[in-house]
Structure 1
Amino acid sequence: METSLINRRIAHLDMDAFYASVELISYPELRGKPVAIGGRNEHRPILLADGTRQFSRLADYVGRGVLTTSTYEARALGVFSGMGTMKAAKLAPEAILLPVNFDAYRHYSRLFKAAVASVVSQIEDRGIDEIYLDLSNEVGETVELAQRIKNAVFEATGLSCSIGIAPNKLLAKICSDLEKPNGLTVLSMSDIPTRIWPLHVRKINGIGPKAAQKLEALGVNTIAQLAEMDTSILQEEFGRTYAIWLNEVAHGIDRREVITESETKSISRETTFERDLHARHDRAVLSEIFTSLCSKLAEDLQRKGYLSRTIGIKLRYDDFKSVTRDLTLPEPTADSLLIRQAAGACLKRVPLEKRLRLLGVKASGLVGVDEVPAGGLAVGRQLELDI
């Protein structure tokens, strides 16, 4: 590998159980207890007359939702993010259940990123609770610099984070998860055989459940076994491009740069229903939900300073099959009425005989408001849609 790539200092910072940790700031009495995030509004804590709070339990939940995250105490009981809430209730019925509060999560996300920016300049935003940092040109010893970042985050938010530092993004992301919570792991290429190779292949970001199953069928469970696998065998199973990638990442090779500026490609809003809804029998309910999604999507666009050239919809039926449709507009818009009109036109192009479990709307082909000349903005009038 090129010397310049080996000598890089790339960090991955991951906030520890972020949503749950933010909730514990509001409800400190829950510290040290198993807590799951993913309830509905009716699961909000109730303030009692004596000043204490009454919390919902996982056992109280009825529905088909999934958990957003959980505290480490809940994870010890087998309760993880993405798990069906009813399944989690069977594993830990007495665990506390809280609804999501995205306003609070976004607030603390802005705080921790601003704190990091006060220490480091090269930052790649990867989502609400994680970022990559290029420390290669920063002054200071690696561990000391990482500790300064961790201290800045804690002082700004009261929250802990875990940082992994390595010569590339692939290894840095793996490292940030090795010593959670509040971890700090520094790894060089020479550490790969002892620190990385013993891990399961799923620890590599980009190897999903299906790929892992195929690898397991080939006798590959650990990253070490993947590194030893003949690339020609991998190519027969996965194709040439993915096989080459698998071989490289197993040896810790990743040439990606930290990208400090990225362009938002799309914005979407969707919801999974508590019960399957029928387009005809539940028309009023669906119409209200559909209009609300379009309004929220318009608000997202306006808040972020974007207009959309293409509006799309996503449906998931009761048999879990999904369908999408989209429509390109003659002029970009962030107007809720026009988004609703375009999304409605898309809806007319999909079969609606089966019951629905999910409905979503999406804005793509985004352009900045400042990029559109006067008179080129569609607002508050009927569009002449080509459908």
Structure 2
Amino acid sequence: MGTDVRVKRVIAHLDCDAFYASVELLRRPELRGKAVIVAHDGPRSVVTTASYEARRYGVGSAMPLSRARRMCPHAILVPPNFEAYRATSKALWEIIGARLGRLQHLGLDEAYADLTGVEKPVRVLRELVEKVRAETGITVSVGLGPSRLIAKICSDLGKPAGFVAMGREEAAERFASVSPKLLPGIGPKSVERLRELGIETIGQLQNTPEETLAARFGVNHGRDLLRRAHFHDDSPVETDRVLKSRSNERTFDEDVDSLEELEQVLRRLARELCEGLERRGKRGRNVAIKVRLDDWTTVTRARTIDTFTHDAALVTEIALELLRAYAPPRPVRLLGVRVASFEEEGGGTPSPVAPPRNAAQLALPL
């Protein structure tokens, strides 16, 4: 009679601490210990990132620069230098990737790693983050758990230079008294709607009947809220070896209803995505955006072009056109961009007939 041996999943989330600001502090050591905001100077600019000294005043990524300056008027403004960020990112992920083969990159500064079956994963990760710090000057916070959900939460707990590991049952108990806003995917609007039901904590959400949540949020969203509250998550770490597309997305701390602000964020997402594609030698023909509204409605729009590309200017232009054509009717909680239909999948030369330029809605998620 055979023995059922189940290997426990071990997922890590590696997140560089205030990455762009950290690179700037390495380039300009005289700014260390000071409040620094990385952003272009302009009336519609948004914060790319901020040092921890500025974050103490409430300054956060994707915040309008005008608001950040009101919150922290003495902050030093530094324009972003993406060439420096790309070089540092390449160096640190080469160090990590040489030891951990299974990575899912999320922009320049964070990635998931699947360490299932790796012997002594805690030791491996501690040695890696120390090696990255010694060779690049960048500190990396690590979250470790049985799922991406728990790993992501854990990586935020001890920043900067944090290292937190936790199991599902421990997480469900430890965070029972915490607001549901802790959980990735539950934004301010959902928190407010939960509060209207008398649900103030994750523990209360855990004990809420699924039918109650379904009546308020819809069947799918209600079920998802309950799964998150119990810290259930079986989403895989999707490595380059199995990905059919690559995407970059951002969930906002506060829902965004300004098209100008959304366009700023989309430009950055598209640029970071194309930088990753270029590093990996990948070019695609299908460009898509993903928009999730404050009521959880999720819409994708896509366009297929007649050439393979990883050109940031072209991808950005198409993504912006798709966003403007959709014109989100409600505040946006998540925005993303995707490139798919890579050369190695397309069977050679693309069709000489250019597709229509109107945006087409896709059923497939990003």
State the partner residue of 2:256. Answer: none
What's the counterpart of residue 145 of structure 1? 124
Q: Would the aligned equivalents of 2:285 and 2:340 in 1 still touch at CA under 8 Å?
A: yes
Task: Report deviation, 1:232.
Answer: 1.2
Deviations 1:227-258 (A, max 9, x none): 12121110101111221221122112111222
Which residue in 2 is equivalent to 1:357? Answer: none
**Which letter does structure 1 place at the counterpart of 2:220?**
T
Distance 2:52 2:74 in 1: 15
Query: Given that residues 309 and 363 in structure 1 are in contact (C-alpha distance below 8 angstroms), is that contact kept between their aligned partners in structure 2?
Result: no
Other-structure match for 1:103: 83
Report how far residue 73 of structure 1 moved: 0.5
Give the Cα–Cα distance (whole angstroms) in 2 for the partners of residues 333 and 189 of structure 1. 42
- Residue 178 of structure 1, CA deviation: 0.7
The 1-side partners of 2:105 and 2:207 are apart by: 34
Question: Counterpart amino acid of 2:43?
Answer: G
Q: For 2:113 and 2:30, locate their aligned partners in 1 and report how far apart those are by CA, in whole Å.
A: 34
Q: 1:161 aligns with which of 129, 136, 140?
A: 140
| Structure 1 unaligned regions, length at least 5 | 41-61, 275-293, 315-323, 352-361
Relative to 1, partners in 2 of residues 1:328 and 1:81: Cα closer, same or farther, differing over 3 Å? closer
Q: Does 1:128 find its partner at 2:108?
A: yes
Shift of 1:155: 2.3
**Counterpart residue number, 2:208:** 229
Matched position secondary structure for 1:118: helix
* Per-residue Cα deviation, 1:178-210 (whole angstroms, up to 9, x for no partner): 111101111123422443223321121111222
Q: CA, structure 1 residues 162+263, in 2 after alignment: closer, same or farther (shift >3 Å)?
A: same
Query: What is the CA distance between 1:3 and its match in structure 2?
Result: 8.5
Percent identity over paired residues: 35
* 1:278-306 Cα shifts (integer Å, max 9, x gaps): xxxxxxxxxxxxxxxx9x99999877655
Measure the CA separation in 2 of the matches of 1:197 and 1:373: 53
Paired positions, count: 313
User: Using a 3 Å threshold, how does the CA distance of structure 1 residues 156 and 210 change in structure 2: closer, same or farther?
Assistant: same
CA RMSD of aligned residues (A): 4.0
Note the alpha carbon deviations across 1:329-378, whole angstroms, 9 max, x for none.
5x435498xx69x97xx79x979xxxxxxxxxx8855331784536x476
What is the deviation of 1:160?
Answer: 0.7
Structure 2's unaligned 5+ residue stretches are: 250-258, 262-269, 291-299, 327-336, 358-366
Q: Which has the larger radius of gyration?
A: 1
Aligned residues of 1:302 and 1:334 also touching (Cα < 8 A)? no
**1-structure distance, mates of 2:301, 2:191:** 31
Correspondence 1:263 to 2:264: no
Structure 2 Cα separation of the partners of residues 12 and 298 of structure 1: 22
User: Aligned partners of 1:79 and 1:335: how far apart in 2?
Assistant: 32
1:213 is paired with a residue whose SS is helix
Q: Normalising to structure 1: TM-score of the pair?
A: 0.68
Q: Which residue is 1:29 aligned to? A: 30
Q: Kindly indicate whether the alpha-carbon contact (under 8 Å) linking 1:309 and 1:366 is maintained by their aligned counterparts in 2.
A: yes
Assess, with a 3 A threshold, how the Cα gap between structure 1 residues 248 and 369 changes in structure 2: closer, same or farther: closer
What's the counterpart of residue 284 of structure 1? none
> Relative to structure 2, which stretch is displaced further, 175-184 or 197-206?
197-206
Q: Distance in 2 between matches of 1:298 and 1:12?
A: 22
Matches of 1:198 and 1:10 in 2, distance apart? 25
Alpha carbons of structure 1 residues 311 and 169: separation in structure 2 relative to 1, 3 Å: closer
Matched AA of 1:15: C
- How has the CA–CA distance of structure 1 residues 4 and 203 changed in structure 2, closer, same or farther, with 3 Å as cutoff? farther
Q: Is the 8 A contact 2:39 2:77 kept in 1?
A: yes
1:290 counterpart residue number: none
